[in-house]
Structure 1
């Protein structure tokens, strides 16, 4: 099994097709479907990619109840940054990745269960 499984992994890809391919590559290295998350700027796109790739969306399990409820009142950018932070990234990293999402890119994030 690849050493990639021992640490968090994030990849910025151009589109949903590349996201699906990346999810398949991560599964081949030993990650389980429930350890792989996809995130796009548009919620519908996130749902479609997650379903196609058999990956997860960042939800209440990762964010916690407070942040999940708070996201109902946040701008989409604030919500995306909160979701990224909930997976263990810093605010600065979340800001960088959120800008990539603004450009239409997709994030594929894999992590070991805490």
Structure 2
């Protein structure tokens, strides 16, 4: 099961991640997305969550993302975690507003 949450900031993200852990989600399966890569990296590092990588996306999709826009990259990564194409598009709109998206999966 894939769960998507939208939060305003890293403090709220931390609270939601703690709730997800009590529900049985592992931090290895919790991903935080932000519109700006640096913000995403900083939050993932601070909260000990994982960026979506080759494991979730596969080699070819990971390589393709090196040459695409940030929006395309984010949608691709969110789809790799279990969101549908339309869910990923809606989530990207939230990212454009400065919010954070948390995706957790078992």
Structure 2 unpaired stretches of 5+ = none
Contact residue 36 and residue 109 of structure 1 kept, 8 A? yes
When normalised by structure 2's length, the TM-score is 0.94
1:27 to partner: Cα distance = 0.9
Is it true that 1:35 corresponds to 2:37 in the alignment?
no
- Give the unaligned 5+ runs of structure 1: 1-6
Match of residue 4 from structure 1:
none
> What TM-score, normalized to structure 1?
0.88
Give the count of matched residue pairs. 106
How far off its partner does 1:54 sit? 1.3
The secondary structure found in structure 2 opposite 1:49 is helix
Measured on the aligned residues, the alpha-carbon RMSD in Å equals: 0.9
User: Which residue does 2:100 correspond to in 1?
Assistant: 106
Runs of 4+ in 1 over 4 A off after TM superposition: none
CA deviation vs aligned residue, 1:73-102 (integer Å, no higher than 9, x gap): 101111111111111222111110011111
Greater relative contact order (Cα < 8 A, sep 6+): 2
- Contact 2:82 2:105 (C-alpha < 8 Å) held by counterparts: no
Task: State the partner residue of 1:96.
Answer: 90
Q: Deviation at 1:33?
A: 1.2
